[in-house]
Amino acid sequence: MESNDILIVGVGGAGGRIVQGLVGLVPEPLRTAMIDTDADALAASGCVSKLQIGSHLAHGKGTGGDAGLGRRAAGEDSEMIRGLLTDTRMVLVVAGLGGGTGSSVAVEVLKAAGLADIPTLCFATLPFQFESKGRAELARGAVPEIREATDGLILVPNDKLFKSTGKEAVSEAFPKAEASLGMCVLAVWKLLTKPGYLNATASDLAQVAKPERGIAGLAWAEVRGRRRGQSAAKQLLAHPMLEGGAALADCKSVLVSVVAGEDLTLKDLGDIMTPIKAACGEDTDVTIGTSIDPEWKSHLLLTVIAARPGGWSGVAASRPVVEQPTSDEPPPLVENPNPTGRTGVQTIMQLEPAGRGRFEDTDPTLQNGEDLDIPTYQRRGIKL
């Protein structure tokens, strides 16, 4: 695929900033676009195409977290969105979920691409834990719809995008998360446009990220200098998303992509793949793709996109874990799933909870993309 065939669309404030961050990272011209309701954010963006939607509805002021407004805005200017997609062979949509525009307009863009038979891949982030509950709910509500509309969804909570030291200022945390996702988008873009000897194609990507396989997550590591392979693999497995590599064990399929210069050696690849394969389960289907760029001498970007059927911690945790009493006292008759008072594992972000109980074998009762058979308290993130 030529670089011109791939359109990278940033939707909403965060999506726009991430895509904007890609401009200038590579020498060749990227086909980037930003879609937003906020005129000021668009004005500040360096994307190739900028689309202000809903100017009559939002008056260029953003949606203020109103996803309905975002959707109406996209509907009003659907013609313009479709126009943006002409002469495109693949669309990468980047959105930060939780805001009014990102959460709603991303779906509309994906749908428009779907109607035009253009394959899509969507990179979406979930809000930080410290952000408001409303944002978390909005983001969670948007995910099922996006999964429906795209060929592949890669979903990462902002908290997991980079290894936090816990000391970052808020003003650092957002740019850091955004830059991290940007690297991953870039890695995919490179994989598609600058294939090395080991090819991973768009269909490989779609295979890993397709919604039926579970929720795809990603992790990345960037290294420079000597012994790149070893340190990249080590860094990657330490990535917060992979839980020290343990998360890979139950992944169905894993796509490893390596972007490096012409000095990439077979040993480097071996150093990368051996620990990753060791961390994966026996049935995991591991694909590798390389992209060689002469400009990347002694520089290596390693990304992993993996589909985990059970979901990721922070994306779709299992049911709250019952703490085992450690003392020798007889266990109390448990009246609360969390007798120690410790909060369960990210109950707020449960997208695919442990089960639908008696409705396990029935068709889901879908309403606005929500499966109503899943207990309400779980979907609403109510702690018991």
Binding site for other proteins (CB under 8 A): 319, 333-337, 353-359, 362, 365, 367, 372-373, 375-378, 380, 382, 384
Q: Between residues 165 and 376, which has the closer beta carbon with respect to other proteins?
A: 376
* Burial (CB count <10 Å: 0-12, 13-18, 19+), residue 261: middle
Report the length, in residues, of the chain: 384
Q: Tell me how crowded residue 244 is: count the other CB atoms within 10 A of its CB.
A: 11
Least distance from other proteins to the Cβ atom of residue 42, Å: 32
Euclidean distance between CA atoms 223 and 198, whole angstroms: 20
Least distance from other proteins to the Cβ atom of residue 334, Å: 6
- Residues 6+ positions from 43 with CB-CB distance below 8 Å: none
Distance of CA 146 to the CA centre of its chain: 11
Least distance from other proteins to the Cβ atom of residue 336, Å: 6
Least distance from other proteins to the Cβ atom of residue 373, Å: 7
Q: Between residues 244 and 355, which has the closer beta carbon with respect to other proteins?
A: 355
Look at residues 62, 209, 54, 81 and name the one whose alpha carbon lies nearest to residue 146: 209
Least distance from other proteins to the Cβ atom of residue 376, Å: 4
Q: Between residues 295 and 335, which has the closer beta carbon with respect to other proteins?
A: 335
Least distance from other proteins to the Cβ atom of residue 381, Å: 10
Q: Between residues 169 and 333, which has the closer beta carbon with respect to other proteins?
A: 333
Task: Check: CB of residue 344 under 8 Å from CB of residue 360.
Answer: no
- Residues 6+ positions from 113 with CB-CB distance below 8 Å: 85, 88, 91, 93, 119, 120
Euclidean distance between CA atoms 229 and 227, whole angstroms: 6
Least distance from other proteins to the Cβ atom of residue 335, Å: 5
Token digits for 275? 């620990």
Least distance from other proteins to the Cβ atom of residue 318, Å: 12
Instruction: Output the CA torsion 14→15→18→19 (10° steps).
Output: -150
Q: Between residues 195 and 337, which has the closer beta carbon with respect to other proteins?
A: 337
Q: Between residues 174 and 359, which has the closer beta carbon with respect to other proteins?
A: 359
Q: Between residues 65 and 337, which has the closer beta carbon with respect to other proteins?
A: 337
Q: Between residues 86 and 367, which has the closer beta carbon with respect to other proteins?
A: 367
- Residues 6+ positions from 11 with CB-CB distance below 8 Å: 34, 35, 36, 93, 94, 95, 101, 102, 105, 106, 109
